[in-house]
Structure 1
Amino acid sequence: MTKFNRRYSLLATLALATATSALTSACAPLLIGGAMASGALLYTDRRTSGAQLEDQAIEFKAGPRLKEALGERAHLNVTSYNRLVLITGEVASEADREAAEKTVAAIENVRTTVNESAVMGLSSLTARSNDALITSKVKAAFIDNGNIQANAIKVVTERSTVYLMGRVTDKEADKAAEIARTVSGVQKVVKVFELISDAELKALESKK
């Protein structure tokens, strides 16, 4: 199989998996690298196993609680990395936006929240599918580059804006953002990283 065909196959697989998640989660959390992660993904994850479980629990609890608080007035995705929680999507009013943040912040083990939800009409299924495709293309670009530990970075796309999460160094953060900006369809890149020092990264890698 040629390099092009391998990359196309990878991109198609990522797009299908991410699109399926996006289309089946109205107010449910968007889970990236969740409970079905392989041993290889867990091995390269820079969170402790306990933090990974807490992140999954936060995302799992967020959907029903937001549904209860906001009903059909919102389409929200909640993504947690090392208990730093990103809220994206659309809400009907500023009051709903504040209610969404308060609801998520009250979930057990949430360390801090970054509320990127917007007061506007709910996005269409077509827009969400496009966001899923952009996410898959950004992930594939990280893998193609070879200088980015792709499994250490979560990619979330909302209305063509790409949010990057993970525990990375300054250099890694800048490189990942640079790569993401070159992907077709990306309008903006927002870094929601937890920055660590080179010494911290070396210590993490020595534990593998």
Structure 2
Amino acid sequence: MTPTTLNRTRRVVGTALAAATLAAALSACAPLIVGGAVVGGVMAVDRRTAGTQIEDEGIELRAANRIRETLGDRAHVNVTSYNRQALLTGEVATAQDRQAVEQMVSQVENVRSVVNDLAVMPPSTLSQRSTDTFITGKVRASLVDAQDISANSFKVVTERNTVYLMGRVSQREANRATDIARGVTDVRKVVRVFEIVSEEELRRIAPQPAPVTTDTKPAGG
């Protein structure tokens, strides 16, 4: 085998091994998407339709791009959309910027309403944002630990130690999640941005478990 042929063979083998490694990683870690629903992921148990979840992601992306193009580095704004309701958190330099951001986001396609909780103050520090991320993780873990509510029915956002809770939930679930969040260390305040639904509607929109089938075939048959 000539040196040129040997080098070509090595490249082909290397590429094949890399592709196999990537495929294995994707099959082990990535959720399976079937007809717009993620099997084994959040979309399979989310109380929003698959279409609404995609719309919410689009709202967050388009709104963030518009804010960045208009305000640049002089603002720190987070946009969180749930069921086409956009929550604005973070900090802006002036009251005019605060109003401008709300106006921009309200004009984003598919936005149904805007909850503006932006503060007029200097942007939060990286240390504060790290603390907020840690608090969000602790609240989510506490919701998962609770046996009487579905953690995947809630979105959790933290800004300057204030926790925002979003979701389509019953009054009982709203109260329970609020109590849980308030009990997490370093949480100063809990803001509820819920869409309250009745228990009857909750039963209607909640994902139903797959039917369990049993094999009644006699042994040895």
Bucket of the pairwise TM-score, normalised by the shorter protein: 0.7 to 0.9
Cα distance in 2 between the residues matched to 1:201 and 1:193: 13
Q: What per-residue deviation string (whole Å, max 9, x for no partner) do you get for residues 142-163 of structure 1?
A: 1112212001100000000000
The letter of the residue matching 1:72 is D
Pairing of 1:57-206 with structure 2 (within 5 A): 57-205=58-206
Cα distance in 1 between the residues matched to 2:170 and 2:198: 6
Q: What per-residue deviation string (whole Å, max 9, x for no partner) do you get for residues 151-200 of structure 1?
A: 11000000000000000011100000000000001000000001111111
Structure 1 stretches lacking a partner, 5+ long: 1-36
The 8 Å contact of residues 77 and 88 in structure 1, kept in 2 or not, is answered as yes
The letter of the residue matching 1:65 is R
Give the match for residue 54 of structure 1: 55
The 8 Å contact of residues 47 and 207 in structure 2, kept in 1 or not, is answered as no
The letter of the residue matching 1:73 is R
The letter of the residue matching 2:182 is R
* CA-CA distance at 1:40 after TM superposition: 3.1
The 8 Å contact of residues 58 and 108 in structure 1, kept in 2 or not, is answered as yes
Name segments (4+ residues, structure 1) moved above 4 Å: none
The 8 Å contact of residues 167 and 194 in structure 1, kept in 2 or not, is answered as yes
Cα distance in 1 between the residues matched to 2:82 and 2:60: 10
Q: 1:147 aligns to what SS in structure 2?
A: coil
Q: 1:193 aligns to what SS in structure 2?
A: strand
The 8 Å contact of residues 91 and 117 in structure 1, kept in 2 or not, is answered as yes
| Greater relative CO (CA pairs within 8 A, separation 6+) | 1
Structure 2 stretches lacking a partner, 5+ long: 1-37, 210-221
The letter of the residue matching 1:102 is Q
Pairing of 1:4-83 with structure 2 (within 5 A): 39-83=40-84
The letter of the residue matching 1:180 is A
Cα distance in 1 between the residues matched to 2:51 and 2:166: 18
Cα distance in 2 between the residues matched to 1:205 and 1:137: 25
The 8 Å contact of residues 88 and 116 in structure 2, kept in 1 or not, is answered as yes
Q: 2:79 aligns to what SS in structure 1?
A: strand
Q: 2:165 aligns to what SS in structure 1?
A: strand
Q: 1:192 aligns to what SS in structure 2?
A: strand
Q: Of the two, which has the highest radius of gyration?
A: 2
The letter of the residue matching 1:128 is R
The TM-score, its normalising length taken from structure 2, stands at 0.76
Higher mean C-alpha displacement, 63-72 vs 132-141: 63-72
Identical-residue share of aligned pairs (%): 53
